[in-house]
Amino acid sequence: MAKEIERKFLVNHDIWKTLEKPMGHPYRQGYLLTDPDKTIRVRQTNEKGFLTIKGATIGATRPEYEYEIPIGDAKELLDQFAVSELSKIRYKIHFDNKTWEVDEFLCENTGLIVAEIELLSEDEHFTKPNWIDKEVTAETKYYNSNLSTNPYKTW
């Protein structure tokens, strides 16, 4: 079974805005199903589309299956079948032999910046960059599927 082991952190805005960053990439993602035990997500970037199925999170681990799909299919699925949606700019930051994916959320989630790191095991040691703040891995309100229905601006 495919597994994703991921930890999630808030980003310190003051430090983040002073960093030299690589170019960010816009993501549009929507959910065909959002359920506490499973989600089905469609994601569209400028170049590609993806269909992702995720199971329930236990600790920092959950089953995940992701498939590249034609970008036109992704757009059609988002336009015609998504029950909720969000947009963000994603930056990939390489730090201490790990890749951090940092999402600056847009629209109703503007002001929220979240960093994620994928690990090989839940107890894997890693170094946090100085722009990392509080860990929010276990806080479900920060799950993208929840942000698509309960956006940051409404908290």
Q: Whole-angstrom Cα distance, residue 64 to residue 141? A: 19
Active-site residue (options: 31, 142, 143, 152): 31
| 71 contact partners, CB below 8 Å, separation of at least 6 | 44, 47, 48, 49
Active site residue 142: no
Lookup: tokens for 20: 């030299």
DSSP letter at 141? G
Q: Which class for 17: exposed (0-12), middle (13-18), buried (19 or more C-beta within 10 A)?
A: exposed
Q: Could you list the active site residues?
A: 31
